[in-house]
Amino acid sequence: MTESTTIKRSSTAVLLGIFAAFAFAGTACFVFQTMQGLHVANLGNDVTWGLYIVGFLLFTGVAAGCLLFASAPFVFSGLEAYRPYARVASFVAVACGCLCAGLFILVDTGNPLRAFSILTSFQIMSPLFWDTVILIAYVVLGCAFTFALVKAHEGAKTEASVRPLASAVFVAALLVAVTSLAFALQVARPTWNNPGLMLSFFIAAVVAGGSVLVIVCAMLDRSGYLPMGEKAARGLSRTVALFLVAELAFSLTEAFSGLYIAVGEEAAVAAWLTSGPGAPFFWIEVACSVAGIALLLQKSQTLHVAGAALAFASIFLVKYNMLQAQLHNPLIGFAGPVAAPGAPAGAYFPAMIEWGVALGIIGIGLLAFTLGISKLKLGK
């Protein structure tokens, strides 16, 4: 055994220990939340969906985005240079995207057993049911696609035989826009009841999944696990930057249209978000987007990683702001106090218990990813 191999294994063991600690702490927070009830979170009548739903939306996007990047080189000509990285992209979609998204939904229900009612007592017209179906499809297709890509890499299959499955994965990933229907079909929430929301969800998925891959591919490149050429790395970063420009334009245009009208529900939401209690969150989102775009367009791989981290943060804030801006400005208000105990007036900020649970879920995802990278033949 060489010294470099020993160092790599010890580094992997350290990472596994850190992620396991995160997972354990998050599990402890979730047990406490289950025993005490969801009132320990900063949720109430005004903000009924908080950090857990944001996490679900974010990591569903990661799953869809990674599957798009994994399947596109087999669906479209001219992208063959990205095929060696499809195995990792497909695995990230399952190990991080689907796993974390599913866990965020489970903890949001308060009692995980309630989540099974979506399948046992489903309503065919419910967007939540179709969200569940799509997430399950991502798991099944992602696992099958990863297995097929590994077999193709080992020579047991030809790349041509993978293309039909790649096409199915690509189409399934496009259906991430269906996730937006849980919001877009709510006519009582005018800023959600917007056909552009479906396009925004798709764009955000590409940015979320792409930014994760920029970071992962840079780490694997530096470790020698899966070398990535400068041209391929720059192409991936520029793609993420391009879609981030589109998401930034959507956010700014939506805010501008509400402010320009100056009356009605859209105007109230836009004012709350740009100059009211939600302004810090909105302008940090804009700053992260602008800085992320600038860094992703640079030549340095280190700057690409920093830009990808900012891009991921901006998509987190896009979902965060989409939820709280509309939930804080309902068409019909509630009688009596609506803020959760300890929640800051006029804005939603997750309680420590929510951050703890979320950190644990992300730790579980990273634990699964690290184990997969160390055990599966996904590298060169």
- Per-residue pLDDT tens digits for 174-224: 999 888 888 888 888 888 888 889 999 999 999 999 999 999 999 999 988
Q: Please say whether the beta carbons of 154 and 378 come within 8 A.
A: no
Structure tokens at 54: 């944001």
pLDDT of residue 159: 81
The runs of H, that is alpha helices, within the chain are 3-36, 51-75, 86-92, 99-108, 117-120, 127-154, 159-174, 181-184, 196-223, 230-261, 265-274, 279-296, 301-327, 352-375
Mean pLDDT of 233-256: 95
Mean pLDDT of 239-259: 94
Say yes or no to pLDDT of 336 above 60. Answer: no
Say yes or no to pLDDT of 340 above 50. Answer: no
pLDDT of residue 27: 94
More confident residue, 278 or 46: 278
Lowest mean pLDDT among 2-6, 123-127, 269-273, 352-356: 2-6
Across 140-161, b (16+ Cβ under 10 Å) vs e yields ebbbebbbbbbebbeeeeebee
pLDDT of residue 146: 93
pLDDT of residue 344: 45
Say yes or no to pLDDT of 3 above 70. Answer: no
pLDDT of residue 237: 96
pLDDT of residue 10: 64
